[in-house]
């Protein structure tokens, strides 16, 4: 056999072996790409298949729909027909609803006309409440049911950042039609069917919102923020703690700095959890930045130039260092805020998700009217479940196993102090379906259920019990 023929035969054999190897690998991969989403007992397994497959929106090219604009004509999403086909779909849902919610209706953004959890109980609004330390004192109006921390976020003017909650009409109708402001009725519903989900009425899924507000004082330029006049409750020193006194209020101007949107869509009863911020809130932390290095050489609303990473996001309330001057309503020390993860993921994690957010933010910015104040806000990220219809009672959601999107999602103005805490570093760490225990020993706990995913409903459940304990006439 001559050398040329021998070499040819060797090449043929090598090609044949390589072909077999490739075919075997392909077969092995295909057998693991589509595991079942249901265990033999009918419950979701620990590892749920990611139903969000790679399509055009999963290559880092996620654009705004031109029919979202002009802003005055943005339509709400059709939640009953949510496509659930790519990562981009979830971020487009978030942006379209942010535009719809902030659309001017009768002279104010639409969301300000929504009900609050208090209003469903027939109570006067409790006003905007600052995030505060947990306490058994009734004056504190504990925020045990709100995402985040036990610390007060102090702006650079010394004022506390304030928070408000809102519910869309689908959420309101669900609560009212089922008489869920009665805690015994809610308990009975949960005991009868703990897998009850929040509904989609027509095309509108139940939605809850949380908004963060900066108290505007002299010398601060809020011209590129949405601002409004409102009444807030004052802070007081009592029994060694800083608490709310709802009998003392003041009229102030507030600027919107953060915006949470959580809503039901077809296939996702756990809700899509998305968050937006004003673009000048805080700097992004570069991956691998040492603690002793400055995060930025520029000033932001909640960050002073050249502040080190070690000085960022420090919870002075838990350290007992926070002091309140009741007369001026100012607190010290101030908080230096940094955004640990720009789009809610550590470096190298879910890079397509982060690229989609970045390109979508840029795409939306190009379509805004230059005079629209809402062009100064952007999506930080969104998080949801990988599979469809996998929510069930009793899920702690303490790991990322079930989650997709922005796995370390935090809003710098709402979850300032928990951005690197693995037990609290995204919405589902607090929003789960476990049994919820009351803030006071004389209240009834809320049994495990799918409805527990909503802190607004939990608020209603515990507040209604507290109201029932109040003497007549109080």
Taking only Cα atoms into account, the Rg of the chain, rounded to an integer number of angstroms, comes to 25
> Angle of helix 455-469 relative to helix 169-177, nearest 10 degrees?
50
Q: What is the pLDDT along the chain (474 residues), one digit of tens a residue?
A: 444 444 444 454 445 444 544 444 444 333 333 333 333 333 333 333 333 333 445 666 899 999 999 999 999 999 999 999 999 999 999 999 999 999 999 999 999 999 999 889 887 655 566 654 433 333 322 332 234 456 889 999 999 999 889 999 999 999 999 999 999 999 999 999 999 999 999 999 999 999 999 999 999 999 999 999 998 888 999 888 888 888 888 999 999 999 999 999 999 999 999 999 999 999 999 999 999 999 999 999 999 999 999 999 998 887 778 999 999 999 999 999 999 999 999 999 999 999 999 999 999 999 999 999 999 999 999 999 999 999 999 999 999 999 999 999 999 999 998 887 767 788 999 899 999 998 788 899 999 999 999 999 998 999 899 888 877 655
| Token reading at 39 | 């265990």
| Token reading at 283 | 């700097």
Contact 381, 344 (CB under 8 A): yes
| Token reading at 207 | 């939605």
Q: How far apart are CA 410 and CA 343, in angstroms?
A: 9
Q: Identify the pLDDT of residue 418.
A: 87
Q: Does residue 333 have a cis peptide bond before it, meaning omega lies within 30 degrees of 0?
A: yes
| 8-state DSSP, 334 | P
Q: How far apart are CA 146 and CA 132, in angstroms?
A: 10
Strand-pair category, 108-109 with 104-105 = antiparallel
Q: How far apart are CA 93 and CA 77, in angstroms?
A: 7
Q: Identify the pLDDT of residue 32.
A: 32
Per the listing, tokens 């990220």 go with 381
Q: How far apart are CA 206 and CA 196, in angstroms?
A: 13
Using alpha carbons, list the distances in angstroms from residue 119 to 185, 210, 231: 18, 15, 16
Q: How far apart are CA 462 and CA 177, in angstroms?
A: 19
Q: How far apart are CA 314 and CA 152, in angstroms?
A: 10
Kindly list the domain boundaries of the chain, sorted by start residue.
Answer: 41-466
Name, in order, each residue with C-beta under 8 angstroms of 444's C-beta and a sequence gap of 6 or more: 183, 187, 438, 465
Q: How far apart are CA 187 and CA 194, in angstroms?
A: 9
| 8-state DSSP, 55 | S
Strand-pair category, 241-265 with 227-238 = antiparallel
pTM: 0.85
Number of H helices, E strands in the chain: 8, 14
Question: Which DSSP string do the residues of 249-306 spell out, in sequence order?
Answer: EEEEEEEEEEEEEEEEETTEEEEEEEEEEETTS-PBPPTT--TTSBS-SS-BTTB-TT
Q: Identify the pLDDT of residue 118.
A: 86
- Identify the burial level of 375 via C-beta atoms within 10 angstroms of its C-beta, where 0-12 means exposed, 13-18 middle and 19 or more buried: middle
Q: Identify the pLDDT of residue 421.
A: 75
Strand-pair category, 129-130 with 200-201 = unpaired
H or E stretch at 175: helix 169-177
| Token reading at 150 | 């036990």
Q: Identify the pLDDT of residue 472.
A: 61
Contact 215, 254 (CB under 8 A): yes
Please, what is the Cα angle at 164 between 163 and 168, to 5 degrees? 150
**CA torsion 101→104→107→113, rounded to 10°?**
-20
Contact 212, 414 (CB under 8 A): yes
């Amino acid at each position: 056999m001559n050398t040329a023929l021998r070499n040819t035969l060797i090449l043929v054999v090598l090609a044949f072996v390589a072909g077999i190897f490739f075919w075997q690998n392909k077969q092995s991969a295909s057998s693991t790409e589509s595991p079942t989403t249901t265990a033999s007992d009918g419950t979701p397994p620990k590892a749920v298949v990611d139903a969000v497959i790679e399509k055009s929106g999963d290559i880092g090219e996620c654009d705004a729909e031109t029919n979202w604009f002009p802003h005055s004509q943005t339509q709400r999403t059709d939640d009953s027909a949510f496509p659930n086909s790519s990562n981009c779909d979830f971020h487009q849902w978030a942006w379209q609803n942010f535009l719809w919610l902030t659309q001017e209706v009768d002279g104010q953004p639409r969301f300000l006309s929504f009900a609050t959890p208090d209003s469903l109980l027939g109570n006067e609004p409790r006003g905007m409440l600052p995030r505060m330390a947990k306490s058994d004192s009734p004056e504190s109006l504990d925020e045990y049911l709100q995402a985040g921390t036990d610390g007060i976020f102090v702006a650079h003017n010394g004022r506390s950042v304030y928070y408000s909650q809102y519910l869309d009409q689908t959420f309101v109708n669900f609560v009212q039609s089922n008489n869920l402001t009665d805690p015994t009725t809610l308990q009975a519903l949960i005991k009868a069917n703990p897998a009850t989900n929040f509904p989609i009425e027509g095309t509108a899924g139940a939605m809850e919102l949380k908004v963060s507000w900066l108290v505007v004082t002299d010398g601060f330029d809020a011209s590129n923020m949405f601002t409004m006049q409102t009444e807030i409750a004052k802070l007081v020193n009592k029994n060694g703690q800083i608490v709310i006194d709802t009998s003392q209020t003041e009229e102030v101007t507030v600027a919107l700095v953060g915006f949470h949107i959580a809503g039901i869509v077809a296939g996702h009863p756990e809700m899509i959890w998305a968050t937006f911020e004003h673009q000048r809130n805080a700097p992004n932390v570069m991956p691998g930045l040492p603690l002793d290095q400055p995060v930025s050489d520029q000033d932001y609303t909640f960050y002073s130039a050249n502040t080190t990473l070690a000085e960022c996001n420090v919870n002075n309330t838990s350290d007992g260092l926070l002091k309140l001057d009741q007369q001026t309503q100012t607190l010290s020390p101030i908080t230096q805020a940094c955004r640990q993860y720009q789009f809610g993921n550590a470096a190298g994690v879910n890079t397509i998700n982060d690229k989609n957010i970045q390109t979508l933010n840029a795409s939306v910015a190009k379509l805004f009217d230059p005079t629209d104040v809402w062009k100064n806000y952007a999506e930080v990220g969104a998080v949801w479940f990988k599979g469809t219809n996998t929510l069930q009672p009793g899920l702690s959601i303490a790991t990322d196993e079930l989650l997709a999107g922005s796995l370390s999602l935090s809003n710098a103005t709402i979850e300032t102090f928990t951005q690197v805490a693995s037990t609290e570093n995204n919405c589902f760490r607090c929003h789960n379906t476990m049994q919820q225990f009351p803030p006071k020993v004389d209240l009834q706990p809320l049994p495990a259920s799918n409805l527990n995913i909503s802190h607004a409903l939990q608020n209603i459940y515990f507040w209604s019990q507290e109201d029932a304990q109040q003497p007549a006439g109080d």
